[in-house]
Structure 1
Amino acid sequence: MSVRITDIREVTKPIASPIRNAYIDFSKMTCSLVAVVTDVVRDGKPVVGYGFNSNGRYGQGGLIRERFRDRVLDAPPGTLLDDEGTNLDPDRVWNAMMANEKPGGHGERSVAVGTIDMAIWDATAKIANKPLFRLLAEREDRTANPRVFVYAAGGYYYPGKDTDLLRAEMRSYLDRGYSVVKMKIGGASLDEDQKRIEAVLHEIDGEAQLAVDANGRFDLETAIAYAKMLRNYPLFWYEEAGDPLDYQLQAALAEFYPGPMATGENLFSHQDARNLLRHGGMRPDRDWLQFDPALAYGLCEFQRTLAVLTTHGWSAARCIPHGGHQMALNIAAGLGLGGNESYPDLFQPYGGFPDGVRVEAGRVTLPDFPGIGFEGKENLYREMAALSA
């Protein structure tokens, strides 16, 4: 059986919401939805892989349609296959996408490539008739663990949202089985944020842990002022205090904040990850890394990032990716990451889990759908099937 990619389709979809964090609002947010169509036929229909980009970055239709799509479709079909010629080789497809690209400049193109890469891996696992997490574990000669830690990300600033509504939101996450919840900081004064934090801690009252996220808003002075306030509370982590590329700020902050810190969701290559570990003062015994494969050139690049972690004495178990999508869930289950972000009420239908999957004691168990498992999420698959029809 020979395999060919016959088409790559993209549509830009709105995921707008009136919420905001410390840096941006999401009122005009979009994402790209991609379908990779193959000539492999199952049950009378072609096998199609699907992908989309994570929230926080906009749709990448221009780059996908004008640059990366045609490189894949124009490549000699045999050059995109594995050694047996019976399935796609995602790394070879990735190399075709990145042909004639200069190094550096990991901004928007990393999102475009990561979106297509997600669809390629979905198609590859479907052709193999295996869940992606099991395919990944087999490739690494390891045992997949379909039970994955997830935390509930929310606590955004919202017009008219007072501490009572914030507490009710966090209570709803506990009621749905989460053991860690996250809220935004940095979009109000330090005093107001402290009141918000104390309100949430009072609400969860030891039933769960609280993480806080500044979304890169602070300069060093403000980051330190917050650190001195935050260290008085038993937080799960203090996330992305300053600009993601200001490694000196991150390193300096460790002197003032002994608790766990987290960052990395806005680093889009293994080179940037390496610089964070070299210069950012991150501590492998307590801190967390949040690289999002969907934003950072995809799983092919994420595996290079994991190799960088190993070189610098880090475990993959210290990675909890940003994004709240099923791709990262599969990677966590297949490659032994520490867990995954979840957006219980936001960025639908792209976030979340397959229908029927419930959070129990802060964890979900992935079902055995072939590929990434999008077909198990009815409202999302409806959007995907329309693109590939």
Structure 2
Amino acid sequence: MNKSETSPSGEVNSAMSGMEITGVELFKVPPRWMFLKITTANGLSGWGEPVVEGRADTVAAAIKELESYLIGHPANRIEDLWQIIFRGGFYRGGPILMSAISGIDQALWDIKGKALGVPIYELLGGAVRDKMKIYGWIGGDKPHDVASSAIARVEAGFKAVKMNATSEMEWIDSPAKVKEAADRLAAVREAVGDEVSIGIDFHGRVHKGMFKVLSRAMEPNHPFFIEEPVLAENNEALRAFQSFTPIPIATGERMYSRWDFKQVFNDGSVDIIQPDLSHAGGISEVKKIASMAEAYDVALAPHCPLGPISFAAALQVDFSAINAMIQETSMGIHYNKGADLLDYLKDPTVFKIDNGYVPLPKMPGLGIAIDEEKVREASRIGHSWKNPVWRNEDGSITEW
């Protein structure tokens, strides 16, 4: 073979040349997001979304500490860098470090897909579906106007919605609170009919003693799932819940690696897992968690109340994972004040909703084009978002 001829391996080697990381930039942008741009020696760049809601500056500090591992490392050696960052620190895991890894991992996959000219799902084995079902939020932190909000979502093209079950909850609360929660679900069911799925998020606000009465009150209106029925640190309670209710149980947004998911899989205590692509180690780790879940006959529905990069990363996993059943999106979510999901994209139509689904992305990498000029402008505004701190009537702190 002469020098003018190129073998398949030669094409890959050529695409991977000049892949050393040369730049790492962070952009804290409204409403409560943080974007990461990684640049390589050959001029390619990739985007990630590393953030913990309400702790953006803490994650930024973690990425700054990790920068020495990044500069000079080949961006195409994604798994090697993931392992260096994860295992190179004696202390590992948790929301801050895993969210930092998540954004880095997303950006590296974006670079590799662009270098090879393919969407990321092609590098994960190829697409297993042509479109992905999504759901949107209704009702806000303290659920209200849920029926009208659900109708508006359906009119916007959604076939599934999710709402918080309750506002503040005591450890053991009143029949009135239970009735309010059940009546809200009933109102949404009456408004949208049986063809629309309704997810119910307990948001870790409900303690073990209240799950039984709340879930039983909601059964007649057939929730799609109950999410985070208890806090992740109390996951041992899920085993008892499985035998109590026919409603599918979902959890995982506050679980950060495959090791965190081991016990719920072994216990058979969940039906749906919800790892977050910006908190649970990025594309590399969530793809592994999804494969673990498949072996236990558990469905995947990634958590994603964040921005366009996190959503795009989740979709890349969804399109390559056979057990992915639905995808959360933050389009129009109540947190999005000052900017919404589509605002930082050059082409918002990549996430166009059609009869409850978004289409298979075709562009290389994450499948989106970030409007960098708009990101840089918005980063000058930034944000200082913090989640609310709630108290019960007696003045005691309660879960938000």
Counterpart Cα distance in 2 of 1:269 and 1:381: 34
Counterpart Cα distance in 1 of 2:365 and 2:127: 17
Partner of 1:226: 214
Whether 2:339 is the aligned partner of 1:344: answer: no
Partner of 2:356: 362
Counterpart Cα distance in 2 of 1:322 and 1:94: 21
Partner of 1:10: 26
Whether 2:260 is the aligned partner of 1:272: answer: yes
Q: Give the number of aligned pairs.
A: 340
Partner of 2:172: none
Q: Does structure 1 conserve the Cα–Cα contact (< 8 Å) formed by 2:121 and 2:127?
A: no
Q: What's the RMSD between the two structures over aligned residues?
A: 2.5
Alignment of 1:24-39 (within 5 A): 30-39=32-41
Which of 301, 323, 326 is the equivalent residue of 1:320? 301
Partner of 1:71: 69
Q: Does structure 2 conserve the Cα–Cα contact (< 8 Å) formed by 1:326 and 1:351?
A: no
Residue identity opposite 1:51 in structure 2: G
Which deviations, in whole Å up to 9, do the C-alpha atoms of 1:304-362 show, x marking residues without a partner?
A: 3234334x5335xx101001511101111123322311122035556468512422222
Unaligned runs of 5+ in 1: 16-29, 41-45, 82-87
Residue identity opposite 1:169 in structure 2: S
TM-score by length of 2: 0.78
Q: 1:228 to 1:113 in 2, by over 3 A?
A: same
Alignment of 1:100-179 (within 5 A): 100-102=88-90, 104-137=92-125, 142-157=126-141, 162=144, 165-179=145-159
Counterpart Cα distance in 2 of 1:385 and 1:4: 28
Whether 2:31 is the aligned partner of 1:47: answer: no
Which of 355, 363, 373 is the equivalent residue of 2:367? 373
Q: Does structure 1 conserve the Cα–Cα contact (< 8 Å) formed by 2:18 and 2:40?
A: no
Q: Does structure 1 conserve the Cα–Cα contact (< 8 Å) formed by 2:29 and 2:375?
A: no
Alignment of 1:52-63 (within 5 A): 52-53=49-50, 56=53, 58-59=55-56, 60-63=59-62
Counterpart Cα distance in 1 of 2:155 and 2:50: 29
Counterpart Cα distance in 2 of 1:212 and 1:257: 14
Counterpart Cα distance in 1 of 2:248 and 2:376: 38
Whether 2:261 is the aligned partner of 1:261: answer: no
SS class of match (1:345):
coil
Which deviations, in whole Å up to 9, do the C-alpha atoms of 1:233-279 show, x marking residues without a partner?
A: 21111111101121221111122211212111111010111112123
SS class of match (1:338):
coil
Whether 2:310 is the aligned partner of 1:331: answer: no
Residue identity opposite 1:303 in structure 2: K
Counterpart Cα distance in 2 of 1:234 and 1:313: 24
Unaligned runs of 5+ in 2: 1-16, 169-176, 306-310, 380-400
Counterpart Cα distance in 1 of 2:155 and 2:376: 31
Q: Does structure 2 conserve the Cα–Cα contact (< 8 Å) formed by 1:218 and 1:241?
A: yes
SS class of match (1:53):
coil
Q: Does structure 2 conserve the Cα–Cα contact (< 8 Å) formed by 1:247 and 1:279?
A: no
SS class of match (2:232):
coil
Q: Which portions of structure 1, spanning 4 or more consecutive aligned residues, are displaced by more than 6 angstroms? A: 384-387
Deviation, 1:2, is 3.1
Q: Does structure 2 conserve the Cα–Cα contact (< 8 Å) formed by 1:132 and 1:371?
A: yes
Counterpart Cα distance in 2 of 1:258 and 1:144: 29
Q: 1:367 to 1:293 in 2, by over 3 A?
A: closer
Deviation, 1:281, is 1.8
Q: 1:187 to 1:384 in 2, by over 3 A?
A: same
Q: Does structure 1 conserve the Cα–Cα contact (< 8 Å) formed by 2:201 and 2:227?
A: yes
Q: Does structure 1 conserve the Cα–Cα contact (< 8 Å) formed by 2:158 and 2:355?
A: yes
Counterpart Cα distance in 2 of 1:338 and 1:56: 25
Partner of 2:275: 291
Which deviations, in whole Å up to 9, do the C-alpha atoms of 1:167-226 show, x marking residues without a partner?
A: 221111101211111110131522222222122112112241211101111211111111
Counterpart Cα distance in 2 of 1:205 and 1:225: 24
Q: Does structure 2 conserve the Cα–Cα contact (< 8 Å) formed by 1:265 and 1:291?
A: yes
Partner of 2:82: 94
Partner of 1:27: none
Which of these two proteins has the greater Rg computed from alpha carbons?
A: 2
Q: Does structure 2 conserve the Cα–Cα contact (< 8 Å) formed by 1:219 and 1:242?
A: yes
SS class of match (1:107):
helix
TM-score by length of 1: 0.80
Counterpart Cα distance in 2 of 1:322 and 1:168: 24
Alignment of 1:190-269 (within 5 A): 190-269=178-257
Counterpart Cα distance in 2 of 1:381 and 1:237: 40
Partner of 2:163: 183
